Structure 1
């Protein structure tokens, strides 16, 4: 009988204070049950409680495990719901819930997603074909985030885009599509516009993008995982240009200031 593989789990969750306290133990037990025959390993540092940008932080922590040789594969997930009574009450109290008295608010949603991550050099021929490749990952912090008084100058998102543009592989050509984890609120639109103009050479021309809130509402920490799946679907519909596979940029910004972004392409 084949020995069960120890599979580290890195999981993105809502930021503390945004709604009710999450009971993580039942969630982790349920994930362990469906992960058989692999045995999930969850350490305290494997839980990323930073909200909408959490999945990108989780990817960075998973990459550390892979690059250090501590794991051959890592399960990276994200889960959130803003539809439960506690979350709705929290949004209402902050004046962020879209309703008759709040025209500049969010439409709550919920979602979850998981990816199995490995290094390209460690992928085995007898394993399923990789659906995509993450070419570059960038993290940054926005000092003028939502919960402070000064308007954002998009310093965090600008930095994340610039890191991708300066990457020796991912930054060599434009991406074909931009996928945002943000809501439709004006502040996020202004932030993207500033960061986009400062990194226009990386962006599609003309600009082509998708806002997750347009289809699912605000799914919080679950956004990044869902948008990666959507990015792979979009890229699968595009034809190679001059023999080169098209790429997509996926990014997310937490209300508390964490920013994350990746460039991804379909597996070959």
Structure 2
């Protein structure tokens, strides 16, 4: 068993409200473009939700074989989103062997049905025609942070098998009336006049990772993640201390052992994010550049849910310096890793 300290990011694919590929998304974020607006879905105060959605004509139709199945409408949309991003990421693959996918999916919310079933990756193989190793593939249903947990699974897979490639990614959509209704009842969905809410979004992103240990100046590398659990999370009765993110930062920074120039975060505008971010900055200050740059692109493309982590990692590959990517899930998972 060969231990790997980092993996090469061979290629990436993104579809989100800002654009249909990685290059377009990076350019739009750097330009400060926002993709959200009012939609024809109304909250309990008869005020339209403010969302960031991918145009329906930007994603392919559902495969004929999948149309025959009684799939939840959200699952159908996630399959269509995934096809675009996965095709872009797979363009960098020059091998014929089946490849596993470690996929981030939506986290469970109270009273909301699970919309990503265990067979989602099987359906994805049908939708895309990709040669997926279904036996080794896994779904991690932790929401925003799940993509970083997927990276950990990719490390384990590549170390234990000696394989050359693995794919990690994530897909999600808040275009789900049940989920929107639940979040709106908590005043979390952005509407006109809201002060502490977020912009629901949607998207998919994938990264092709390689066990190649030879550093290439043209390719970014990803380092082993750090994880922690926040006991006082959004759906817990425990007191919120905001300390878990700091622990995840510390492990991720140690695994890279380099000062951080830029932080890419899942911060979506809700105030609950502020305390733990401040604690994490204070406790890890010695490893951060004096003018560390905090990027929170949910202000551009909305909250991408389970597609957040892989999208942030893809954005970080455009930086010339060491970046820290972190994500926080509603159910308490905190995760971080470095990209260089």
TM-score category (smaller protein): 0.7 to 0.9
Deviations 1:135-159 (A, max 9, x none): 3311111112121234432221111
Give the Å deviation of 1:97.
Answer: 1.1
Counterpart Cα distance in 2 of 1:158 and 1:175 = 14
| 1:45-84 matches, cutoff 5 A | 46-69=138-161, 71-84=163-176
Q: Which residue of 2 aligns with 1:34?
A: 128
Match of 1:146 in 2: 234
2:327 alignment counterpart:
252
TM-score by length of 2: 0.66
1:131 match: 219
Quote the Cα distance in structure 2 between the aligned partners of 1:42 and 1:252: 28
Note the aligned Cα RMSD (angstroms).
2.6
Of 299, 303, 306, which residue of structure 2 is paired with 1:214?
299
* TM-score, with structure 1 as normaliser: 0.82
What secondary structure does 1:207 align onto? strand
**Worse overlay, 11-20 or 181-190:** 11-20
Change (3 A) 1:132 1:3: closer
Kept in 2, the 8 Å contact 1:249–1:262? The answer is: yes
Q: Secondary structure at the match of 1:143?
A: coil
Match of 1:243 in 2: none
Does the CA contact (< 8 Å) of 1:8 and 1:71 recur in 2?
A: no
Q: Which moved more, 1:96-105 or 1:51-60?
A: 96-105
| Counterpart selection for 1:190 from 275, 278, 282 | 275
Partners of 1:136 and 1:264 within 8 A in 2: no
Return the alpha-carbon distance in structure 2 between the equivalents of residues 200 and 48 of structure 1.
31
**What is the alpha-carbon distance in structure 2 between the residues aligned to residue 210 and residue 97 of structure 1?**
21
- The equivalent of 1:164 in structure 2 is 252
Indicate if the aligned counterparts of 1:10 and 1:58 stay in contact, CA closer than 8 A: yes
Distance 2:271 2:289 in 1: 22
Q: Which residue of 2 aligns with 1:11?
A: 103
Q: How many residues align?
A: 245
Task: Give SS of 1:166's match.
Answer: helix
Q: Which runs of 5+ in 2 are unaligned?
A: 1-93
Shift of 1:3: 8.8
Give the deviation of 1:27 after TM superposition: 5.9
Aligned to 1:17, the other structure's residue is in SS state coil
Partner of residue 242, structure 1: none
**Structure 1, unaligned stretches of length 5 or more?**
239-245
Shift of 1:100: 4.2
| Pairwise CA distance, 1:219 | 0.9
